[in-house]
Amino acid sequence: MWFGEETGQGWLQVSELGLAFGLSALIGFEREIRQKSAGLRTHTIVGLGAALFLLVSKYGFGDVLTQGRIVLDPSRVAAQVASGLGFLGAGVIFVRRDAVRGLTTAATIWLTAAVGMAAAAGLPLLAVLCTVAHFVVLYGLTPLAHLLTRGGPTQQRLSCTYLDGRGVLRDVVSRCTGAGWAVTGLETSPVPGAPVVRVALAVQGRGSATALAAMLGELPGVTEVYTGDPEPDA
């Protein structure tokens, strides 16, 4: 008999896998709509795989267990899953100049694995609560942080591309300071094969960085402005 609770392949285990699949997919969908490198498929596979690892640890060795002679410790597999996910997290974290990207995605992958293991361990309430907490953190704490820091000076980064040899950079810096922003960092890099230069600006002040970018875009000789760091050449 290959199907049933006594074999570790019954409806209970199927429901635990299904719960891990659904909750992991829900977290992954949020990452997908934000266009992150690890999205729906990655998070769903991580959560489902973590759940299967734990189920194998709980039920997969019943045929070799002997009372009083062989002891099974499922917590060892849970610990190995948590540490083994480090390579996935490292793959989505990268540093460009002084900006670190992908930390939230890496943490989300780690959380998704925990949700999958909780679902497989027979802890559905904890799995659901952690999934809800994920959305509270991403959609609730960020606006709260913005509300608490509103009115104070903020650090922003702008990327600007302008025509070389026309004194545009001087106008860009002047427009920033004239709008009440202090330029705290500046780094230029020529674009190979094109008569333009890219500049990464670190500015500090009060107001909207998007509005500042719009003002810089109106300057003669400026071809492109956006918030954030410049994208690397393909």
Of 148, 179, 209, which marks where a domain is finished?
148
Q: With cut-offs at 50, 70 and 90, classify the pLDDT of residue 141.
A: low
pLDDT tens profile 173-206: 998 888 888 888 888 888 888 888 888 888 888 7
Q: With cut-offs at 50, 70 and 90, classify the pLDDT of residue 69.
A: low
How high does pLDDT run on average in the chain? 77
Name the residue with tokens 């960092």. 185
d(CA 163, CA 161): 7
Of 148, 173, 200, which marks where a domain is finished?
148
Distances (CA, A) of 195 to 168, 172, 202: 13, 17, 23
Q: Say yes or no: 91 and 189 in one domain.
A: no
d(CA 187, CA 140): 34
What is residue 234's predicted lDDT score, i.e. its pLDDT? 35
- 64 within a domain of the structure (yes/no): yes
- Give the tokens for residue 193: 């094969």
Domain count, the chain: 2
What is residue 64's predicted lDDT score, i.e. its pLDDT? 58
Reduced to 3 states, what is the DSSP secondary structure of residue 92? helix
Residue 92's CB: how many other CB atoms inside 10 A?
Answer: 19
- 35 within a domain of the structure (yes/no): yes
Global model pTM greater than 0.85: no
Higher model confidence: residue 3 or residue 227?
227
d(CA 77, CA 50): 9
Q: Say yes or no: 117 and 186 in one domain.
A: no
Q: Say yes or no: 114 and 135 in one domain.
A: yes
DSSP percent split of the chain into helix, strand, coil, nearest 5: 55, 20, 25
Q: With cut-offs at 50, 70 and 90, classify the pLDDT of residue 233.
A: very low
Higher model confidence: residue 222 or residue 84?
222
pLDDT tens profile 22-67: 888 888 888 777 767 667 777 888 888 788 777 877 776 665 566 6
Q: Say yes or no: 52 and 167 in one domain.
A: no
How far is C-alpha 115 from the chain's CA centre? 16
- 232 within a domain of the structure (yes/no): no
pLDDT tens profile 70-125: 566 666 777 777 777 777 777 776 655 445 567 677 778 878 888 888 887 777 88
> What's 212's domain CATH number?
3.30.70.260
Distances (CA, A) of 212 to 2, 103, 137, 161, 199: 66, 27, 29, 15, 15
d(CA 69, CA 79): 23
| Closest to 175 measured CA to CA, from 136, 225, 104 | 225
- 48 within a domain of the structure (yes/no): yes
- 40 within a domain of the structure (yes/no): yes
Range of the domain at 100: 5-148
Q: Say yes or no: 48 and 115 in one domain.
A: yes
Q: Say yes or no: 35 and 131 in one domain.
A: yes
Q: Say yes or no: 111 and 173 in one domain.
A: no
Q: Say yes or no: 19 and 131 in one domain.
A: yes
Give residue 68's region: left, alpha or beta (phi > 0; psi -120 to 50).
Answer: left
Of 122, 148, 174, which marks where a domain is finished?
148
Q: Say yes or no: 43 and 159 in one domain.
A: no
Q: Say yes or no: 91 and 172 in one domain.
A: no
What is residue 232's predicted lDDT score, i.e. its pLDDT? 45
